[in-house]
Chains A and B, each alone.
Chain A
Amino acid sequence: QKEVEQDPGPLSVPEGAIVSLNCTYSNSAFQYFMWYRQYSRKGPELLMYTYSSGNKEDGRFTAQVDKSSKYISLFIRDSQPSDSATYLCAIPYNAGGTSYGKLTFGQGTILTVHP
């Protein structure tokens, strides 16, 4: 079983739709959770960084963590064509409460928002 699993999609939605992107993870010791966005032919850029369960909101983006289910989500409200990209969930290696910066990524979900 992979440590982090993500449905690769692709996902195609109309402009203005609410998008839901999801990942599951296997290790209950994971404490930090991240979402990266990667445009074609570019490196990933950090979108959201969350710790513990619950929601974190940043503009049109909301990251949600459910540790009991080992499930993380990213919601995009009022999606725009400029949101078309690959979205990657990432979890840093963590031991004894100390994080060491080694990121484990999901496969990435390809999102297209069409006008």
Chain B
Amino acid sequence: DAGVTQSPTHLIKTRGQQVTLRCSPKSGHDTVSWYQQALGQGPQFIFQYYEEEERQRGNFPDRFSGHQFPNYSSELNVNALLLGDSALYLCASSLGLGDSQFFGPGTRLTVL
């Protein structure tokens, strides 16, 4: 049983570019949440997708957007990248809008 998978593992972009990160939830899960983890900090909630709709959003600008597909996989898009967007981006899946979230290994984004 595959857990949460994310791609790519690492990514290097320059300021102003756009990036798309991908996540496949754990088998049987239908909800995906995205978190940003800066170095030395705890993860910060970006948004959550359930039934292909954004259900909750954290304190992140509109440059951060997402999508959930019918197979429950999800994408995180970030436009107009800033240096401060450099972080580990974590995807977590759950069954429904529950708390028991299983995290993927993350995508490490570096913005130069």
Using a CB–CB cutoff of 8 Å, the interface residues on chain A facing chain B are 4, 6, 8, 32, 34, 36, 41-46, 49, 88, 90, 92-93, 99-108
Point out the residue from A6, A34, A42, A102 that lies within 8 Å of B48, measured CB to CB: A102
What are 30 A-to-B residue pairs whose CB atoms are below 8 Å? A4-B42, A8-B40, A42-B106, A43-B104, A43-B105, A43-B106, A45-B103, A46-B101, A49-B100, A88-B43, A90-B42, A92-B99, A99-B97, A99-B98, A99-B99, A100-B48, A100-B55, A100-B97, A101-B94, A101-B101, A102-B33, A102-B56, A103-B35, A103-B45, A104-B45, A105-B42, A106-B42, A107-B40, A107-B41, A107-B42
Q: Is B56 touching A6 in the complex (CB atoms < 8 A)?
A: no
Residues 15-63 of B at the A interface (beta carbon under 8 Å): 31, 33, 35, 40-45, 48, 55-56, 58
Q: Is A101 touching B99 in the complex (CB atoms < 8 A)?
A: yes
Q: Is B98 touching A102 in the complex (CB atoms < 8 A)?
A: no
Residues of A contacting B43 with CB < 8 Å? 44, 88, 103, 105
Residues 72-112 of B at the A interface (beta carbon under 8 Å): 90, 92, 94, 96-106
CA separation between A88 and B90, bound complex, in Å? 14
CA separation between A101 and B103, bound complex, in Å? 13
Residues of A contacting B4 with CB < 8 Å? 43
Q: Is B105 touching A105 in the complex (CB atoms < 8 A)?
A: no
Residues of B contacting A92 with CB < 8 Å? 99
CA separation between A103 and B4, bound complex, in Å? 17
